[in-house]
């Protein structure tokens, strides 16, 4: 039977195929114990292969914590992370953009490697859960063959670049931000200046100030499309924000440039990355996001540093070519525009149209939001949805930060047929962007850091609110609810009208799941303001709390008073008082249901919380270089075994260069890939200073690199198996010496 | 044909009640009691909110179980995730054995009653598209193995095996028989 690698060989971009092979080789090295678990963990995260709850090999079954005895035994894929334990694969969809064919393949891989569910995240990614790491290389290959990479979906890297799902079809946008977001995505993907961060880095684009679609305020870099007249010409650019973020300590992004011309988008973003890599916190991950650096330095000093960095950046032609050479394929509507004929299409259709359909800037076309409950859709639903879209829509869909899917370019006349098709697969629910369309992070369902069942709560609220949505006051219906399973705020609760974040409380000696209530956050204007924390309430009282709070607002508001203004006017103390009785937890004997979380029959515990991989481990550039050298020498062995002596010797030489480059990067992060430059700097910094010298063998191991560099394998008279074997052995010794050198450097730093 | 990642589904009988809510504590207890013959029972996944979705699932290292509601036809779905190379007939028998065992356990759960499974119809899938696509040619390869198994399961009737499903779905086939021998009888014949 042919493997996926053999089958898809010609269909994947060669660079992506090589990266996946490299990851597979790193997996093999880890299995053999030749790659440190911390380094492998960060490598894995940078391929989007994330941990999941219980992957430390333990689970509380409601009575006691038991070991999950996976067949892999002691093998780990990261610190306290068992190899065989199911994990999550995060799949980046830049701008949430996904073609019909890509969706079909996502449905396939979800069916085969996961649980046949595609989960849309609050950052427009798709996540698959319960994936075994052994399946990930093939999963990645199948995605790569249709143009999707999982590279840098997790870890301390530039995460998925998000953008308004209505970019290009919205009448309020200055212009379509898609090509710019796309250019920045692929410019920074794997960019050397974005490899040494202390934490993750998130970028978002928005077409306008007023709506929430891009949520630029909560991102490390937020770009809002702007236009300016210059000499009678309309010039495109961006209001450019930096240092926003949610989490336990939310920060609003600050304006770095009122108007950054389009040609400066890539270089200035690169300069921001360099400042972050150089000055951002690396040791304390709780302080390592860009927002802390911007706050510490102040926006003016940060701007000065970015500008100084921008000044000295070597010119890169991609700064401009990426904006023109990589245009996003224009969407092609399936059908011509046509207005909706007047008629009776039924109450279900009208209700859906009111909330889920947005007219496009292009007359006769509309955009429809397909509501996915809790962001989930099955593989079969996905295929049926693709069929429907092929019949009526443009050739791509966009996922949204509210965990839905948006279809564009639907002729208005086709909306009833599109709605009927959705109804046949159970996806015709109206209420998109209303109180019944709740956003929730994975929480305790699958997240290692989850404290409370945010999805369980959201499911319960959706059930209750959808049954009475029609009878709710119109203003109440327009409110948004968002829930996060812990303070990390992945559910974006800070920018919702009614937000929840999971916490736990001890009641009578037992743990009880609670949610902290955060109210009055502003979703519009790109998440303009963050909500007010009111206090923690037992999970099981949250549905009553939502009723109480909304009724209280309706009863007490002044004419025309918005929810946010009402919250501000009322203040924390008054709101707390109005809700205070809902804090009560009855005794266990009286009502044990309070001591279990939503959708979970086990008695509640926080014992299952693990160590998060949100940020991954901070792995230095030297450690990455050394890991790469290990992989290359492993690949050299494989080619040696296949009798390809030249390739084996070349890879062995490359392995030495990688190890040397890794060491140099500790002192000069800008070292280039040029072999001459690497060897020259290695000689100056490590050989001449004797830093690389072995206590017994002196300069012997360094000489292997110098000798091979003088006569590289591809330039000699040919390499036979014996010579290749020698090259591999020398490379192995060189790498060992590099490890020893790095250890000495670390010891020196520690003692200094 | 190397049958990787088989799934088998037995459908509920007409008078059954499919109570996904009640299934949650049952699956949690099964994990506690190590009720199924699986190497590691990991967790319970809740997809009650998904229309015609996989329902509440019991996630194990080698396979997933759940009261699946695809196409509005609820049934116990056993879905294998990890496989070794092996004999097709052995793998089919093993998958049916596990599915039927789970059906029998569910039928015995007091909190889920009334719940029973039809023994006269089963859906079989080879989920790995590396092994097969859902084409007539792939079905032709699979059919003899299914027919052999069907003859063993339904010696008293002439069972039929037919190719079903969307061409983009995993290779899918349905086995059906004239009479319903019941889940326990089928288990005995495996
Ligand atoms: S908010 Fe907390 S529980 Fe939710 S996904 Fe993020 S880290 Fe996990």
pLDDT tens-digit map of A567-621? 999 988 899 999 999 999 999 999 999 999 999 999 999 888 776 665 456 788 8
Same-domain status, A518 and A574:
yes
For B160-188, what is the mean pLDDT? 96
- Top residue of B5, B33, B43 to mutate, by most chain A CBs within 10 Å, is B43
Assign A50 a pLDDT band (cuts: 50, 70, 90): very high
- Are A477 and A501 in contact by the 8 Å Cβ rule? The answer is no
Is A519 part of a structural domain of the chain? yes
Same-domain status, A561 and A605:
yes
- Tell me how far apart the alpha carbons of residues A468 and A348 are, in angstroms, rounded to a whole number: 15
Q: Assess whether the C-beta atom of A503 lies below 6 angstroms from ligand 1.
A: no
pLDDT at A329: 64
Is A457 part of a structural domain of the chain? no
Q: Assess whether the C-beta atom of A465 lies below 6 angstroms from ligand 1.
A: no
Same-domain status, A564 and A706:
yes
Q: What is the CATH number of the domain that holds A570?
A: 1.20.120.330
Both structure tokens of B16: 């059954």
Contacts of A68 in chain B (CB under 8 A): 40, 42
Residue finishing a domain among A264, A290, A324: A324
Assign A296 a pLDDT band (cuts: 50, 70, 90): very high
Same-domain status, A394 and A290:
no
Q: For residue B59, give the nearest of A70, A108, A130 by CB distance.
A: A130
Q: What angle do CA A101, A106, A111 make, to 5 degrees?
A: 130
Both structure tokens of A628: 């790469």
pLDDT digits (tens, 9 = 90+) for A6-41: 999 899 999 999 999 999 999 999 999 999 999 999
For A736-747, what is the mean pLDDT? 87
> Residue A230 CB: number of other CB atoms within 10 A?
11
Is A432 part of a structural domain of the chain? no
- Tell me how far apart the alpha carbons of residues A139 and A109 are, in angstroms, rounded to a whole number: 6
B80 touches chain A (CB under 8 A): no
Going by their DSSP bridges, the two strands A481-484 and A498-507 should be labelled as parallel
Is A151 part of a structural domain of the chain? no
- Nearest atom of ligand 1 to the alpha carbon of A488: 1
* Min Cα–Cα distance to chain B from A720, Å: 37
Assign A115 a pLDDT band (cuts: 50, 70, 90): very high
pLDDT at residue A148 greater than cutoff 80? yes
Q: What is the CATH number of the domain that holds A400?
A: 3.30.70.3340
Output the average pLDDT for chain A.
93
Q: What is the pTM of this model?
A: 0.91
Higher pLDDT, A83 or A618: A83
Both structure tokens of A230: 């210059």
B71 touches chain A (CB under 8 A): yes
Predicted complex: ipTM over 0.90:
yes
Q: What is the CATH number of the domain that holds A48?
A: 3.30.70
What is the four-CA torsion angle of A429, A430, A433, A439, rounded to 10 degrees?
A: -20
pLDDT at residue B170 greater than cutoff 80? yes
B136 touches chain A (CB under 8 A): no
Q: What angle do CA A221, A441, A510 make, to 5 degrees?
A: 130
What is the four-CA torsion angle of A61, A62, A66, A70, rounded to 10 degrees?
A: 10
pLDDT at A235: 93
Q: For residue B82, give the nearest of A107, A132, A427 by CB distance.
A: A132
Q: Do A115 and B54 touch (CB under 8 A)?
A: yes
The domain in which residue A567 lies consists of 503-751
Q: Do A599 and B24 touch (CB under 8 A)?
A: yes
| Per-position DSSP letters for A205-248, written without gaps between them | EES-SSSSTT-GGGSSEEEEEEEEEETTEEEEEEEEEE--B-SS
Higher pLDDT, B39 or A327: B39
Query: Which residue in chain B has the smallest CA separation from A376?
Result: B50
Same-domain status, A247 and A195:
yes
Q: State the maximum Cα–Cα separation within chain A, in Å, rounded to a whole number.
A: 90
Query: Which residue in chain B has the smallest CA separation from A423?
Result: B51
Residue finishing a domain among A144, A178, A212: A144
Is A559 part of a structural domain of the chain? yes
Same-domain status, A89 and A237:
no
Same-domain status, A352 and A306:
no
Assign A743 a pLDDT band (cuts: 50, 70, 90): confident
Contacts of A138 in chain B (CB under 8 A): 130
B72 touches chain A (CB under 8 A): no
pLDDT at A447: 94
Contacts of B19 in chain A (CB under 8 A): none
* Min Cα–Cα distance to chain A from B150, Å: 25
- Please tell me what DSSP assigns to residue A685: I
What's the structural domain count of chain A?
4
Probe residue for ligand 1, chosen from A248, A454, A496, A513 as the CB with the greatest number of ligand atoms within 8 Å = A454
Q: Do B168 and A108 touch (CB under 8 A)?
A: yes
- Please tell me what DSSP assigns to residue A340: P
Is A634 part of a structural domain of the chain? yes
pLDDT at residue A232 greater than cutoff 80? yes
pLDDT at A327: 58
Same-domain status, A670 and A739:
yes
- Tell me how far apart the alpha carbons of residues B59 and A599 are, in angstroms, rounded to a whole number: 15
pLDDT digits (tens, 9 = 90+) for A374-407: 999 999 999 999 999 999 998 899 999 999 999 9
For A674-701, what is the mean pLDDT? 92
Same-domain status, A291 and A404:
no
- Tell me how far apart the alpha carbons of residues A76 and A44 are, in angstroms, rounded to a whole number: 12
Q: Do A115 and B52 touch (CB under 8 A)?
A: no
Q: Give the three-class secondary structure for A18.
A: helix
Q: Do B24 and A600 touch (CB under 8 A)?
A: yes
B31 touches chain A (CB under 8 A): yes
Residue matched to tokens 């060897």 = A679
Q: Give the three-class secondary structure for A734.
A: helix
Q: Assess whether the C-beta atom of A489 lies below 6 angstroms from ligand 1.
A: yes
Is A334 part of a structural domain of the chain? no
For A511-532, what is the mean pLDDT? 88
B140 touches chain A (CB under 8 A): no
Assign A747 a pLDDT band (cuts: 50, 70, 90): confident
Going by their DSSP bridges, the two strands A532-538 and A87-91 should be labelled as unpaired
Q: What percent of chain A has pLDDT over 70?
A: 98
B21 touches chain A (CB under 8 A): no
- Tell me how far apart the alpha carbons of residues B171 and B139 are, in angstroms, rounded to a whole number: 7
- Nearest atom of ligand 1 to the alpha carbon of A444: 3
Same-domain status, A418 and A282:
no
Q: Do B169 and A7 touch (CB under 8 A)?
A: no
Q: What phi and psi values does residue A136 have, to the nearest 5 degrees?
A: -65, -35
- Tell me how far apart the alpha carbons of residues A94 and A164 are, in angstroms, rounded to a whole number: 11
- Tell me how far apart the alpha carbons of residues A689 and A420 are, in angstroms, rounded to a whole number: 75
> Residue A10 CB: number of other CB atoms within 10 A?
8
With the C-alpha atoms ordered B125, A115, B75, B108, is the resulting torsion angle positive or negative?
A: positive
Is A436 part of a structural domain of the chain? no
- Please tell me what DSSP assigns to residue A714: G
CA B161 to chain centroid: 16
Assign B83 a pLDDT band (cuts: 50, 70, 90): confident
Q: For residue A59, give the nearest of B29, B43, B166 by CB distance.
A: B43
pLDDT at residue B41 greater than cutoff 60? yes
- Tell me how far apart the alpha carbons of residues A637 and A724 are, in angstroms, rounded to a whole number: 9
Q: Which of A44, A56, A87, A49 is nearest to A610 (CA)?
A: A56
Assign A684 a pLDDT band (cuts: 50, 70, 90): very high
Same-domain status, A292 and A391:
no
Q: A503 has which bridge partners?
A: A514
- Tell me how far apart the alpha carbons of residues A75 and A471 are, in angstroms, rounded to a whole number: 56
- Are A89 and A136 in contact by the 8 Å Cβ rule? The answer is yes
Going by their DSSP bridges, the two strands A162-163 and A126-131 should be labelled as unpaired
Provide the terminal-to-terminal Cα distance of chain B, rounded to the nearest Å.
20
Of A564-568, A696-700, B114-118, the range with the lowest mean pLDDT is A696-700
Same-domain status, A611 and A717:
yes
pLDDT digits (tens, 9 = 90+) for A309-321: 999 999 999 998 8
Higher pLDDT, A614 or A452: A452
Q: Do A112 and B47 touch (CB under 8 A)?
A: no
Q: What is the CATH number of the domain that holds A183?
A: 3.30.413.10
Q: What percent of chain A has pLDDT over 90?
A: 78
Query: Which residue in chain B has the smallest CA separation from A1?
Result: B131
Residue matched to tokens 């799949």 = A91
Q: Residues 6 or more apart from A127 whose CB is under 8 A from it?
A: A88, A89, A90, A91, A119, A121, A442
Provide the terminal-to-terminal Cα distance of chain A, rounded to the nearest Å.
57
B73 touches chain A (CB under 8 A): no
Residue finishing a domain among A144, A170, A196: A144
Q: Do A599 and B32 touch (CB under 8 A)?
A: no
CA of A501 to the centre of ligand 1 (A): 9
């Amino acid at each position: 039977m042919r493997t996926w690698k053999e089958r898809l060989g010609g269909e994947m971009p060669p660079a992506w195929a090589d990266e996946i092979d490299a990851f597979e080789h790193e997996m093999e090295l880890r299995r053999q114990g030749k790659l440190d678990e911390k380094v492998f963990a960060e490598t894995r995260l940078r391929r989007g292969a994330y941990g999941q709850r219980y992957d430390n090999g333990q689970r509380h079954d409601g009575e006691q914590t038991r070991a999950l005895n996976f067949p892999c035994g002691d093998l780990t894929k990261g610190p306290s992370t068992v190899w065989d334990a199911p994990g999550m694969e995060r799949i980046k969809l830049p701008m949430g953009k996904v073609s019909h064919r890509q969706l079909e393949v996502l449905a396939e891989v979800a069916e085969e490697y996961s649980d046949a569910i595609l989960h849309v995240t609050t950052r427009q990614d798709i996540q698959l859960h319960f994936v075994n790491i052994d399946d990930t290389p093939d999963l990645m290959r199948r995605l790569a063959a249709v143009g999707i990479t999982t590279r840098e979906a997790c870890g301390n890297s530039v995460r998925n670049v998000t953008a308004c799902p209505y970019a290009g079809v919205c009448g309020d946008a200055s212009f379509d931000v898609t090509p710019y977001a796309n250019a920045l995505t692929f410019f920074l993907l794997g960019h050397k200046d974005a490899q040494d961060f202390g934490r993750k880095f998130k970028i978002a684009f928005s077409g306008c100030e007023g709506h929430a679609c891009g949520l630029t305020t909560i991102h490390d870099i937020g770009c809002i499309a702007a236009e300016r007249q210059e000499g009678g010409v309309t010039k495109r650019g961006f209001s450019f924000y930096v240092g926003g973020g949610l989490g336990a300590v939310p920060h609003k992004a600050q304006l770095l440039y009122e108007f950054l011309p389009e040609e400066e988008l890539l270089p200035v973003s690169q300069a921001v990355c360099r400042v972050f890599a150089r000055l951002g916190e690396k040791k304390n991950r709780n302080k390592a996001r860009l927002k802390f650096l911007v706050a510490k330095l102040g926006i003016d000093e940060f701007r000065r540093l970015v500008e100084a960095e921008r000044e000295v950046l070597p010119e890169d032609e991609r700064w401009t070519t990426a904006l023109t050479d990589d245009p996003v394929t224009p969407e092609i509507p399936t059908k011509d525009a046509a207005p909706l004929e007047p008629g009776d299409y039924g109450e279900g259709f009208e209700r859906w149209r009111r909330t889920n359909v947005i007219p496009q800037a292009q007359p006769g076309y509309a955009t429809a939001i397909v509501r996915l409950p809790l962001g989930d859709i099955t593989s079969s639903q996905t295929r049926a949805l693709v069929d429907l879209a092929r019949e009526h829509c443009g050739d791509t869909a966009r996922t949204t930060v509210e965990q839905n899917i948006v279809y564009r370019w639907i002729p208005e006349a086709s909306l009833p047929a599109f709605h009927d098709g959705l109804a046949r697969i159970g996806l015709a629910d109206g209420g998109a962007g209303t109180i019944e369309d709740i956003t929730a992070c994975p929480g305790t369902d699958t997240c290692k850091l989850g404290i409370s069942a945010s999805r369980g709560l959201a499911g319960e609220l959706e059930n209750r609110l959808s049954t009475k949505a029609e009878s709710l006051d119109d203003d109440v219906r327009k409110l948004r609810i968002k829930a996060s399973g812990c303070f990390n705020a992945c559910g974006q609760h800070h920018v919702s009208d009614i937000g929840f974040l999971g916490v736990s409380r001890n009641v009578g000696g037992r743990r009880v799941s609670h949610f902290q209530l955060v109210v009055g956050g502003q979703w519009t204007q790109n998440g303009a303001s963050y909500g007010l924390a009111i206090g923690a309430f037992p999970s099981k009282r949250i549905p009553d709390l939502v009723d109480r709070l909304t009724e209280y607002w309706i009863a007490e508001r002044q004419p025309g008073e918005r929810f946010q203004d009402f919250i501000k006017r009322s203040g924390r103390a008054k709101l707390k008082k109005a809700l205070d009785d809902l804090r009560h937890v009855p005794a266990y004997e009286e009502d044990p249901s309070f001591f279990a979380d939503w959708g979970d029959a086990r008695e509640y515990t926080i014992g299952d919380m693990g160590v998060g991989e949100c940020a991954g481990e901070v792995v230095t550039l030297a450690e990455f270089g050394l890991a790469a050298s290990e992989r290359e020498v492993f690949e050299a062995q494989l080619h040696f075994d296949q009798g390809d002596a030249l390739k084996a010797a070349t890879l062995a030489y490359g392995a030495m260069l990688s190890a040397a480059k890794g060491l140099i990067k500790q002192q000069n992060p800008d070292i280039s890939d040029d072999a001459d430059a690497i060897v020259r700097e290695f000689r100056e910094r490590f050989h001449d200073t004797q830093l690389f010298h072995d206590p017994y063998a002196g300069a012997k191991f360094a000489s292997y690199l110098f000798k091979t560099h003088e006569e590289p394998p591809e330039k000699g008279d040919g390499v036979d198996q014996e010579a290749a074997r020698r090259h591999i052995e020398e490379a192995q010794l060189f790498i060992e010496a590099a490890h020893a050198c790095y250890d000495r450097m670390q010891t020196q730093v520690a003692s200094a | 044909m190397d049958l990787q990642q088989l799934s088998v589904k037995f459908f509920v009988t007409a008078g059954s009640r499919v109570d996904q809510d009640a299934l949650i504590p049952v699956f949690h207890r099964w994990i506690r009691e190590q009720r199924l013959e699986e190497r590691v029972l990991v967790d319970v996944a809740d997809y009650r909110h998904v229309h015609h979705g996989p329902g509440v699932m019991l996630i194990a290292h080698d396979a997933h179980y759940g009261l699946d509601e695809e196409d509005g036809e609820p049934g116990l779905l056993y879905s294998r995730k990890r496989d070794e190379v092996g004999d097709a007939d052995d793998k089919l028998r093993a998958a049916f054995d596990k599915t039927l065992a789970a059906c029998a356990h569910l039928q015995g759960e007091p909190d889920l009653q009334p719940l029973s499974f039809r023994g006269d119809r089963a859906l079989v899938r080879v989920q790995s598209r590396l092994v097969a696509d859902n084409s007539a040619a792939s079905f032709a390869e699979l059919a003899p193995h299914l027919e052999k198994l069907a003859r063993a399961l339904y010696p008293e009737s002439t069972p039929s095996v037919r190719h079903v499903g969307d061409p983009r779905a995993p290779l899918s086939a349905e086995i059906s028989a004239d009479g319903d021998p019941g889940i326990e009888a089928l288990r005995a014949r495996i």
